[in-house]
Structure 1
């Protein structure tokens, strides 16, 4: 491959509007600010996305500023593989994994397009047995949660909990569908609550529980891991690569978020490590546009579960790429991640 000359960096910010106010155990929001990174060189463009997040203290403004500081580095890269590029960028942006995610995903997209392949093809993955994505139901009144679920029939629902009516919510939702249920308490339960709720929720057709306890409650995680009648998947306890080993024997699987770990490149390493440890693999999303969701899609062949419904929750998508229908992911005809901006 010839040297990259004058890689151009374009940073764009958008506010995604949600169809419904989205509530989890610790926060509610109706608008999601995002940052899009575009890398242009040699007639190809690659796109990456990241989101602001109050829990992880990231704003669009801070991420944009951090990326602007390293533009001279980005413009000077030559012949790097995505792995080599990520390691160099990590040395400069390691304090801001969210910004690194957008940059890494954009570079992976650009690199695959230049190679004339879709990302999953470049990685040698077969898409014959991809898992289906769930669809998330945020916390609300029981009546509104039922309404959100019935307005979009889906084979798998992720239900956000962490209220005083958790079992009543799932009991009522179960009356309206035979779909698989997954529960995400977003650190909202105690050990006794988790163990008690797991028994009731298993009877209601729940597949697993995601992050029931606070992220750093490792003794609690271990107790729940040993005693729960349902599998437990880590989310807030599994942020970066080093966390996978920490989650072993504390969780049955890990939910990897590209924005938290720094992009597709480290996510692939985390998936491989989790598999080696005999853990279930999952990738999740934030409230993202088709840019971020399309990146996740290329990891599907390596996953047991996936939560990539971000585009279904918004009214003003800014890109085309993968499409979702009844849980099934259809890839774009374009190479790389398959993304094209429309905004």
Structure 2
């Protein structure tokens, strides 16, 4: 039986504006959930996303609506049935995983039969700006093993070329965030190959991606907004070659793990991503990241101030949080 549930909004200012095709973010607005049982506290964090009709207030209300059931002992399995995928379920799912592991004194990694955490190569993001500014930003992280380039439909090739000049050796992901058309996708194929782009993430709007059926891309295309849970996979076959698993889309690690296993079985490459969030939002995603071909978990690196025992970037590698930060 829980002895307490705490739900708090929190805003983390960013050190620089985060610009993508649909807008600019200057702070990470999150919802933090804490579940207390005995002397143990489990924590979770989620990022309500307007693209999916979410807000901080609505997510808090969703979590609050389950207070009595949670305090009566509702677990993760029932949570999957009571809440749909999204930020509210993610925050609660993460807090339940954390609490369970602390009560059991068995780490989440061990429960998933995973090895201890190790440093990982994460994508570092270059946001939309002038080509000159993007080249300068890329030069500043040229030693990164993987760079993600945010673009829109306004001369994306010039921006990708600028980043490639700044970082000649890095692997590249290009992310238009649903801003392209199928014609623009066709027009950019030669440039994407010439600039050695490894992955193209969600170029078309998710409700217009039927145009991808029958289109043979020279660069693997990754579903982001088009893929939330394992139930989406069948519709992605023949359109995408990879999927981006984000816990705020799946509604937590429980469904993310199910999606990972199902996607691998169907031959999709795996990318694990995040919203701009703190290390508390990243920690559960690290359980998926071990099995991903592409890792994009630099959200906390955009914060002016993160949890002091959270993830850090050292020598181009994402270092895991301190022991005991989340998940036992």
TM superposition score normalised by structure 1: 0.89
1:56 matched to 2:73: no
Report the Cα offset of residue 261 of structure 1: 1.2
1:285·1:308 contact (CA, 8 Å) conserved in 2? yes
What are the residue-to-residue correspondences of 1:177-326 with 2, within 5 Å? 177=167, 178-224=169-215, 227-318=216-307, 320-326=309-315
Extract unaligned runs of 5+ from structure 2: none
Report the Cα offset of residue 257 of structure 1: 1.1
How much is the aligned-residue C-alpha RMSD, in angstroms?
2.0
> C-alpha distance in 1, partners of 2:67/2:282?
25
> C-alpha distance in 1, partners of 2:38/2:279?
24
Q: Per the alignment, do residues 198 and 109 of structure 1 end up closer, same or farther by CA in structure 2, a change over 3 Å counting?
A: farther
SS for the counterpart of 1:213 is coil
Q: Deviations over 1:295-332 (max 9, x none)?
A: 11122222221110001111022463333324423333
Q: Deviations over 1:120-172 (max 9, x none)?
A: 22211135887521011111112222233333442211001113221111112
Report the Cα offset of residue 277 of structure 1: 0.3
Instruction: Give 1:101's match in structure 2, choosing from 90, 97, 105.
Output: 90
2:222·2:241 contact (CA, 8 Å) conserved in 1? yes
Aligned match of 1:20: 16
2:244·2:271 contact (CA, 8 Å) conserved in 1? yes
SS for the counterpart of 2:290 is helix
> C-alpha distance in 1, partners of 2:247/2:93?
10
TM superposition score normalised by structure 2: 0.93
Moved more, 246-255 or 319-328: 319-328
Moved more, 206-215 or 323-332: 323-332
Extract unaligned runs of 5+ from structure 1: 79-84
Moved more, 258-267 or 184-193: 184-193
> C-alpha distance in 2, partners of 1:131/1:152?
16
Report the Cα offset of residue 249 of structure 1: 2.0
Equivalent pairs counted in the alignment come to 326
Instruction: Give 1:6's match in structure 2, choosing from 2, 9, 12.
Output: 2
2:300·2:311 contact (CA, 8 Å) conserved in 1? no
> C-alpha distance in 2, partners of 1:220/1:7?
52
Moved more, 24-33 or 313-322: 313-322
Q: Deviations over 1:212-251 (max 9, x none)?
A: 1110224212133xx1110000001002221122112210
> C-alpha distance in 2, partners of 1:7/1:265?
23
1:92 matched to 2:88: no
Aligned match of 1:81: none
> C-alpha distance in 2, partners of 1:92/1:42?
25
Q: Per the alignment, do residues 76 and 312 of structure 1 end up closer, same or farther by CA in structure 2, a change over 3 Å counting?
A: same
